[in-house]
């Protein structure tokens, strides 16, 4: 990655958006619409549109998204062509694309040219395959966090954020999080007022309240269901009881040392952090589906106190239990 910007603040910012077979439609169109709307807003104010968008695919014959629609796309841009931002979309075809040497070489070359690099959802697999995420923090769709961490151990995968910025590399969570990411890029380029205008036009949050954790079920723990599914089910039925490492290891039929090692390998987190997530998950359901008082929910989910539950919610969801209930209760 270059250490200094390749384009000045007033120059046209070229954005390459990489697509491929079975790409997620919204991973492409969501961010593209954000940048296009920013162009419209700046132009309506008498300025020069700041972005030039290039949707590209290997062969330049378009790409059929997993939804069945075919996206028009130009050929892969050449190494010497101007570039400000490289954006790699995700989708069902991302893992196959991450094994395509032509695409990986192209991503690596264009990343060296770009001022910044970004991925949406499972597009992170292509960045990781190109070595761009080595030693960096990264986000992806919650369902694929464990798989990304296992396949690319040099990447520090974070399962909660909507998006992560580590230096010039940005990665986002799943699908609609690409819109959040693109808005953040627009804010970095053009300022908060332009980004807010675009968000208002698209009828979305400029900064979404809470992390992607609030929209998932047990997060990346699902990736370990084959090995620890029975244990997770047991934990969910005993949230108010002693869930120490020795108790969990005994339930799993392992020594404490072996259990801790195998559990971390399978889930990408410690048993203590997993229990916290499962308790938050249980509390979320009660907050959104019942009118049970917050204090009682904290007790029923094993937090011990309302304050302990509040701290866990703020840490994992960036929202208090009361805020969560006000936003998501039926």
Which residue, among 146, 196, 145, 154, has the nearest Cα to 174 in the 3D structure? 145
> Which segments of the chain does DSSP mark as H helices, in order?
25-44, 94-97, 101-113, 124-129, 145-151, 177-190, 192-202, 225-237, 245-252, 256-267, 271-289, 294-300, 306-317, 321-328
3-state DSSP call for residue 221?
A: helix
Say how many Å lie between the first and final Cα of the chain, rounded: 46
8-state DSSP, 76: P
Which residue, among 39, 65, 37, 62, has the nearest Cα to 52 in the 3D structure? 39
Contacts of 229 (CB under 8 A, 6+ apart): none
Burial annotation 123-140 (CB, 10 A radius, 16+ → b, else e): bbbbbbbbebbeebbbbb
Kind plus residue range of the DSSP H or E element containing 303: none
Check: CB of residue 281 under 8 Å from CB of residue 300: no
Please confirm, yes or no, whether 301 is among the known catalytic residues. Answer: no
Active centre residues (catalytic) = 121
């Amino acid at each position: 990655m270059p250490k200094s910007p390749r384009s000045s603040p007033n120059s046209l910012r070229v954005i390459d958006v990489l697509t491929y077979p079975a790409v997620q439609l919204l991973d492409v169109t969501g961010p593209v619409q954000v940048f296009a709307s920013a162009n419209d807003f700046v132009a309506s104010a008498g300025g020069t549109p700041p972005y030039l968008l290039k949707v590209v695919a290997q062969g330049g014959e378009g790409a059929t998204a997993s939804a069945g629609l075919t996206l028009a796309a130009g050929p892969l841009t050449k190494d010497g062509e101007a570039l400000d931002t490289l954006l790699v979309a995700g989708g069902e075809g991302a893992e196959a694309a991450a094994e395509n040497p032509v695409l990986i070489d192209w991503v690596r070359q264009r990343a060296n040219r770009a001022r910044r690099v970004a991925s949406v959802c499972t597009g992170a697999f292509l960045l990781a395959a190109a070595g761009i995420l080595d030693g960096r923090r990264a986000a992806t769709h919650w369902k694929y966090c464990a798989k990304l961490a296992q396949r690319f151990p040099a990447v520090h995968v974070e399962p909660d954020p909507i998006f992560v910025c580590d230096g010039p590399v940005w990665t986002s969570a799943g699908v609609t999080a690409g819109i959040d990411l693109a808005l953040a890029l627009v804010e970095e380029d053009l300022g908060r007022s332009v980004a807010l205008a675009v968000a208002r036009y698209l009828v979305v949050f400029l900064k979404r309240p809470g992390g992607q954790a609030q929209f998932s079920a047990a997060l990346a723990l699902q990736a370990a269901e084959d090995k620890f599914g029975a244990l997770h089910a047991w934990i969910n039925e005993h949230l108010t009881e002693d869930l120490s490492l020795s108790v969990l290891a005994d339930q799993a039929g392992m020594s404490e040392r072996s259990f801790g090692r195998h559990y971390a390998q399978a889930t990408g987190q410690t048993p203590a952090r997993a229990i916290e997530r499962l308790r938050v998950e249980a509390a979320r359901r009660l907050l959104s589906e019942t009118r049970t008082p917050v204090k009682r929910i904290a007790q029923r989910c094993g937090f011990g106190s309302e304050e302990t539950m509040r701290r866990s919610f703020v840490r994992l969801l960036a929202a208090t239990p009361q805020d969560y209930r006000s936003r998501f209760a039926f």
